[in-house]
Chain A
Amino acid sequence: MGATIVEKIFSMKCKKDVCAGEVVMAPVDNAMIHDITGPLAIRKFYEMGGKLVHSPERVTMLFDHQIPADSIEAAENHVYMRNFAKEQRIYNYDLREGVCHQVTMEMGKAAPGEIVVGADSHTCMYGAGGAFATGIGSTDMGFALKFGALYFRVPETIRVTANGSFQKRVGPKDLILSVAADIGADGATYKAIEFTGNTMEAMNMSGRMTCCNMAIEMGAKAGIVPPDTITWDYISRLRNIVPFQLESDNNASFIGERTYNVTNLSPQVAEPHNVDLGVDVAKVAGTTIDQVFIGSCTNGRFEDFVEVAEVLGNRNFSDTVRVIIIPASRQEYLKTLRAGLIERFVTAGALVEAPCCGPCMGGAFGLLAPGEVSLSTSNRNFKGRQGSTGASVYLCSPATAAASGIYGEITDPREVE
């Protein structure tokens, strides 16, 4: 019996053959903490009797959810983490770099074959870089800080194969929303999702990150794209690393296989209040919206903003809508800025904010009042996610968000000339 890519990663790290269902104590190559879950992880580290962090050079620390500090409590949490970083000699990116997942990828902290954990559920995004990456809670993170290792149940894998070329204005977000609608919010619980097929092979890193990011929305423990030249080119620019072969064996055992053809895929919109309620944009077109958010770890990259700019052209956003645009990181912000897109967005009436999680987590700013409707390129539309539990959040791609921002209602981006 062959092995899946996930089984191979755990076998390499554990220096023995392990297969799905086994529980292993595996070393952690990198651990990411941010300003929401980090303070609790540090408290747990101390409560566990921790004195020195096992491998401070393998910890990525930054602030992204509540920056600049939006409350005295947030400011105190930042101070607490800064002091811990100093004490433990952990490099702290503080509030300078942007959203944790984008920054972790950009800094080369997740490479093919590595095991990476983050105290945030969308840590599964790093599977775009060929790593096994999974979100954990603060107590597990405290454990990882103390011991440099963590218990894992090696997951079974569902293989998702996507073939075909997208229509214009249709892309990775539409694919992953349609996959989530098919697999369901709990269809991949405790499993890994491996993304393959010629659509994935042709997809750039930004799109792969969008897909892997949302694996958690199906309950998955990890999402992963087998590393290819696109992956190795990306990671090789960030650190010295020798490419090697890493893929599932032909005779590996998958617990599920799904195949999709994207050729006729329409832009997808997830209706309130669950991510797996994706429908063709036609079904919800015309829905009046109050706010558009374009950003987040899911869709806050330069490639996303290029798509927005192409749809926008020389138009303005509707003055009935608040359009909030937030690049996911300083690097993505600079690329967007240098390409002249920030000026275009501001001219069109958008509010462009500095890199952070923004309205996605419903805590810092951009909150919704009861009865308001938001269209968002982020990853979750749970009741109350972006403010009042009486508000509604729809999820979509950057192209659909841009088209809808122009007209003040949900709009098929293919219909915008």
Chain B
Amino acid sequence: MMRVWKFGDNIDTDAIIPGRFLTIYDPRELAKHAFEGIRDEFASEVKTGDIIVAGKNFGCGSSREHAPIALKGAGITMVIAESFARIFYRNAINVGLLPVVCDEAGSIIEGNSVMVDLTGGYLIVEGEKLPIEPIPDFLMRIVNSGGLVEYAREFEEVPVCIASHQ
């Protein structure tokens, strides 16, 4: 059974993975220290398929990609938040952790069953639809590839300065 882990506003990357663990790169090892000192039961109780639901500005602070990697290593498949910090949002997409922006994230409570329909543009929370912000086209291509590494493997050079309206 999928579990919702609920967090508040301004959850920073130091909270997600403290600076002293940044010599670690293995996702499962990082996962052992996720939210250490902030929410100690997270690392021991989190299960594959669980999701995080948070308020505003999730992932603010440092550019450390260890943060989304730690969450993905813990089995988290999706982070739903009212808003994300810019670098975390992009890092999450790049490493294959789905960030979903939902104005009504605050109405989701621990124990709810949550599913996402990206093409439809909504979450299904206990059978009720909550609208989500669409993921920009160019990021959706990366999501569909499974992350930026897989996307980048597809070509040897990129056409510089191709502009597209979003």
Give chain A's interface residues, CB within 8 Å of chain B.
Answer: 13-16, 18, 21-27, 36-37, 39-40, 43-44, 47-49, 65-66, 71, 73-74, 76-77, 119-121, 123, 135-140, 142-143, 146-147, 149, 151, 153, 185-186, 189-190, 219, 221, 274, 361-363, 367, 380, 382-385, 388-390
Check if A137 sits within 8 Å of B138, measured CB to CB: no
Check if B86 sits within 8 Å of A190, measured CB to CB: yes
Q: A185-B10, A362-B14 are in contact. Are A149 and B160 (CB under 8 A)?
A: yes
Check if B83 sits within 8 Å of A189, measured CB to CB: yes
Q: Report A238 CB to chain B, min CB distance, Å.
A: 25
CA distance A14 to B161 in the complex (A): 5
B153 and chain A: residue at smallest CB distance = A49
Residues of A within 8 A of B136 (CB): 23, 153
Stretch at the interface among B19-27, B41-49, B72-80, B113-121: B19-27
Residues of B within 8 A of A140 (CB): 90-91, 94, 148
Residues of B within 8 A of A185 (CB): 10, 57, 60
CA distance A65 to B63 in the complex (A): 14
Ranked nearest first, the 4 interchain pairs of A and B with the lowest CB-CB distance are A389-B37, A73-B23, A137-B91, A14-B161
Within 8 A of A (CB), among B119-166: 136, 138, 147-149, 152-153, 156-166
Residues of B within 8 A of A74 (CB): 23
18 inter-chain pairs at a CB distance below 8 angstroms, sorted by A residue, are: A15-B161, A22-B164, A25-B158, A25-B162, A37-B64, A47-B149, A66-B23, A77-B23, A136-B87, A139-B65, A147-B157, A185-B60, A186-B85, A189-B84, A361-B19, A362-B19, A380-B12, A383-B15
Q: Among A23, A66, A390, which residue has its beta carbon within 8 angstroms of that of B164? A: A23
Q: Report B93 CB to chain A, min CB distance, Å.
A: 9
CA distance A40 to B69 in the complex (A): 11
Q: Report B106 CB to chain A, min CB distance, Å.
A: 15
Check if B62 sits within 8 Å of A121, measured CB to CB: yes
A28 and chain B: residue at smallest CB distance = B160
CA distance A74 to B64 in the complex (A): 16
Q: Report A107 CB to chain B, min CB distance, Å.
A: 21
For the side of the interface on B, what is the size category?
A: 35 or more
Check if B63 sits within 8 Å of A22, measured CB to CB: no
CA distance A76 to B23 in the complex (A): 9
Check if B90 sits within 8 Å of A136, measured CB to CB: yes
Known A-B contacts: A186-B10, A186-B57. Give 20 more (CB < 8 A): A15-B161, A25-B158, A36-B64, A40-B65, A44-B149, A48-B148, A48-B149, A119-B63, A121-B62, A136-B63, A139-B95, A147-B152, A151-B138, A189-B57, A189-B84, A274-B10, A383-B12, A383-B15, A384-B18, A390-B37
Check if B152 sits within 8 Å of A146, measured CB to CB: yes
Residues of A within 8 A of B65 (CB): 37, 40, 137-139
Q: Among B10, B15, B63, which residue has its beta carbon within 8 angstroms of that of A121? A: B63
Check if A363 sits within 8 Å of B19, measured CB to CB: yes
A46 and chain B: residue at smallest CB distance = B149
B21 and chain A: residue at smallest CB distance = A363
User: Residue B109 at the A interface, CB < 8 A?
Assistant: no
Q: A74-B23, A135-B63, A139-B91 are in contact. Are A383 and B163 (CB under 8 A)?
A: no
Q: Report A13 CB to chain B, min CB distance, Å.
A: 7
Q: Report A9 CB to chain B, min CB distance, Å.
A: 13
Check if B163 sits within 8 Å of A36, measured CB to CB: no
CA distance A361 to B63 in the complex (A): 12
Q: Report B8 CB to chain A, min CB distance, Å.
A: 12
Q: Report A168 CB to chain B, min CB distance, Å.
A: 33
Check if B61 sits within 8 Å of A380, measured CB to CB: yes
B164 and chain A: residue at smallest CB distance = A23
B88 and chain A: residue at smallest CB distance = A137
Q: Report B108 CB to chain A, min CB distance, Å.
A: 20
Q: Among A16, A25, A71, A383, which residue has its beta carbon within 8 angstroms of that of B14? A: A383
Q: Report A23 CB to chain B, min CB distance, Å.
A: 5
CA distance A314 to B123 in the complex (A): 64
Task: Indicate the member of B57, B85, B147, B163 with the most A CB atoms within 10 Å.
Answer: B163
Check if A382 sits within 8 Å of B64, measured CB to CB: no
Check if B160 sits within 8 Å of A21, measured CB to CB: no
Check if B20 sits within 8 Å of A363, measured CB to CB: yes
Residues of B within 8 A of A49 (CB): 152-153, 156
Task: Indicate the member of A15, A21, A25, A77 with the most B CB atoms within 10 Å.
Answer: A25
Residues of A within 8 A of B22 (CB): 36, 65, 363
CA distance A125 to B159 in the complex (A): 28
Q: A73-B23, A137-B90, A189-B83 are in contact. Are A362 and B18 (CB under 8 A)?
A: yes
Q: Report A104 CB to chain B, min CB distance, Å.
A: 15
Task: Indicate the member of B63, B163, B166 with the most A CB atoms within 10 Å.
Answer: B63
Check if B163 sits within 8 Å of A24, measured CB to CB: yes
